[in-house]
Amino acid sequence: MAESALFRPVRAGNAFEETVARLLQTVRLGIVAPGEALPAERDLAARFSVSRDTVREAIRSLTDAGFLVSRRGRYGGTFVVDVLPSRGSGARIEGVADAVPSSPEELEDALALRDILEVGAARAAAARALSATDREVLWSRLKESSAASIEDYRRLDSRLHLTIGELVGAPSLVPLLADNRMRVNELLEEIPLLQPNLEHSNEQHEAIVLAILTGDVERAAAAMQEHLDGSAALLRGFLA
């Protein structure tokens, strides 16, 4: 039953993140034990209802993070490492700060508050009549985050999200967003920066910004929720 639950179709909106999270869960829960092989890529793609490229990227990311190892030859494949990395081991990967993982309760609290604040902010920003300056600043923030290096990504990503909050026009909202963003960034610093996730995140940022600029309230809220769900899936996969 556990294998069936974990190897089920993922949500299309966050295919890469959900695939990574599911594979991590199979490893952490012992569904695929240390030293054992994962199902073949084509089988995983069929079970998750994603492309083989998505499965391949997820496996590559978890291999880089130290959870999986690929072996060639007649009995080759992708195997769980014999000794699993400790919780929060992403902190030892280059570019990720060393930190003590938060408790599951702290993680869920931060993510729940983030959903409330940021989905609401996207909805409210899309409902406003933005000035030409507002629109220019938002588009500029999007371009900055899209072009950011890995070293600058978290900073410019945060700046874009806070800009959306600023556009709501409720001054008391921004400090709440900033405090929550600090908490979430501390959690994000405990996991690896996965390049496919950053690329996916940039695509979702564009969808959010375009919805806000066109005044599509429901689409802005839905796009933000989809975006937050992706990072939440990775955080739960690595830290929960």
- pLDDT 10s digits, 80-116: 999 888 655 543 433 333 444 458 888 999 999 999 9
Residue 5: the pLDDT is 60
Contacts of 62 (CB under 8 A, 6+ apart): 20, 23, 24, 27, 68
Residue 200 has pLDDT above 50, yes or no: yes
- Please tell me whether residues 32 and 124 are part of one structural domain: no
Residue 95: the pLDDT is 32
Using one digit for the tens of pLDDT, what is the confidence trace for 32-91? 888 999 999 999 999 999 999 999 999 999 999 899 999 988 788 999 999 888 655 543
Residue 100: the pLDDT is 44
Q: Model-level pTM? A: 0.75
Structural domain containing residue 78: 2-85
Residue 183 and residue 168 in contact, taking contact as beta carbons nearer than 8 Å: no
Q: Look at the chain and report how many structural domains it folds into.
A: 2
DSSP 8-state secondary structure symbol assigned to residue 214: T
Q: Which of 85, 117, 150 lies at the terminal end of a domain, its last residue? A: 85
- Please tell me whether residues 197 and 230 are part of one structural domain: yes
- Please tell me whether residues 164 and 54 are part of one structural domain: no
- Please tell me whether residues 52 and 123 are part of one structural domain: no
Query: What does the alpha-carbon distance between residue 205 and residue 224 come to, in Å, rounded to a whole number?
Result: 8
- Please tell me whether residues 124 and 209 are part of one structural domain: yes
Q: Which of 85, 115, 146 lies at the terminal end of a domain, its last residue? A: 85
Residue 28 has pLDDT above 70, yes or no: yes
Q: Which of 85, 112, 143 lies at the terminal end of a domain, its last residue? A: 85
Sign of the alpha-carbon dihedral angle for 52, 55, 59, 61:
positive
Residue where the block lists tokens 């594979």: 23
CATH number, domain of 43, equals 1.10.10.10
Three-state secondary structure call for residue 188? helix
Q: Kindly give the interhelix angle for 173-188 and 217-239, rounded to the nearest 10 degrees.
A: 30
Task: Confirm whether 96 is domain-assigned.
Answer: no
Residue 13: the pLDDT is 76
Residue 110 and residue 180 in contact, taking contact as beta carbons nearer than 8 Å: yes
Taking residue 104's Cβ as centre, other Cβ atoms within 10 Å add up to: 11
CATH number, domain of 181, equals 1.20.120.530
The long-range contacts involving 7-13, CB below 8 angstroms and separated by at least 24 positions, are 7/39, 7/44, 7/47, 7/48, 8/47, 8/48, 9/47, 9/48, 9/49, 10/48, 10/49, 10/50, 11/229, 12/49, 13/226, 13/229, 13/230
Task: Confirm whether 190 is domain-assigned.
Answer: yes
Mean pLDDT score of the chain:
87
Using one digit for the tens of pLDDT, what is the confidence trace for 209-227? 999 999 999 999 999 999 9
